[in-house]
Each structure stands twice: as structure tokens, then as C-alpha cells.
Copies of this chain bind each other. A is one copy, B any other.
Amino acid sequence: MKYIGPPSFIKAVQALSLLPGVGEKTAQRLIFSLMKNPSEKIPTLTNALTELMSHVRLCSSCFGYSEEVQCPICTDHHRDQSVLCVVEDPTNVFAIERSGQFHGLYHVLGGVLAPLDGIGPEQIRIGELMKRVEASTIKEVILATSPNVEGDATALYISHALEGKSIKVSRIAQGIPTGGSLEYTDQYTLGRAITDRRLWA
């Protein structure tokens, strides 16, 4: 009779396997590592996760992750209050922040339009975006949803909704990724890289 381990061990492996990219073998390896010094390693991890769950909520202005009512980006008066970057997901905020190229405010939609999945304009924070644009002195809205079918459709929908509001509406650039090579770039990306070419300053 094969013995595959204590029940609590199997349960912990199953719980870890629910994470993306973590299969049963990886989960086992991680649990084995935690079991080397369980009374020290496990509380460190569980406390950090519990704290994360209890402390992090959505910012009341931008709907990004925050530990306060408003996130540090929304309350930072050194940031440009006239530019709003619209993203799909709270994690996109960190991605753009890492680039260091954006100094305005964010608006997190919490999804993209996907009519087949029943996600229309009411299900994502487009209404909140409109209210924010009307209540403030925003001069430019950058549509930074992903350049795929749903992201493009969402950007198009918002650009129509913002028409006639004397606000500049822009879309993040599509082109060849930094470090990429023309040889391995697909035809659509290469097409956009040509049509959206920049004048050499």
C-alpha cells in the first residue's frame, strides 16, 4: 500500500496548487521546504498573507490597491492632477509605475468590456470614470487597456463616451517591444509600428 503523506500535508499541497503556475510537484517542493523549519517559516508566511487580506482594500478615488481610504498616488499632490491613466486591473498600476514614465493619476476599471461574458459598461467602472472627469480638472485621459480585442473595444467605448468634453483622449502606443527584433515580430505589430511611427525629434 502506497502512503502519500499525512492528510494535512496533502491538504496544504492542494491549497498551494490552486495558485497559478504551481503544479502538484512544485507545491510539494514548497511544502517540503516549509517543513524544514515549520514553526518559523509557516507563521511568517501566513501572517503576511493574513495582514495583506485585512489591510489592502481599493482606493476610493482610483480603485487601485491601497491600505488607506485613498492610495498614496491619489493623495500625492506632486503628481499631475490633470492626466488620468485608465487601466483594467489594480496590478496594471504597479506595472506602469515601474516604468517611471507616468506622473499623473490612475483610474482602475476592474475589467474590460466582454459582452459574451455578460460584462457591459455597467459592470466596470466607466460611470465612476465619467463622474471623476466631470468633477475635476482633467485635461487628458490615457487609455491604457491591453491592445487586444476586449481592451481595444473598451478603449473605443470610453473614447466615444468622452467625446465633446474638450478632453484630450490618447491610447498607449503599440509597436515592437524594447529589445525585440523585427525578424520575430508578428505582421500586425509590425504594421502598427510603421503606421504609428514617430518623427525623429
A residues contacting B by CB (< 8 A) are 1-9, 11-12, 14-16, 18-22, 26, 28-35, 38-39, 41-53, 55-56, 65-67, 71-73, 76, 78-79, 90-91, 93-94, 97-98, 100
Contact = CB atoms under 8 A, between A and B. Distances in A.
List 7 tightest A-B contacts by C-beta distance, closest first.
A15-B48, A8-B55, A46-B46, A12-B52, A42-B53, A12-B48, A6-B67
A52 B73 contact: no
Chain A interface main SS type: helix
Nearest to A51: B8
A21 B39 CA distance: 21
Contact of A49 (B7, B19, B42, B100): B42
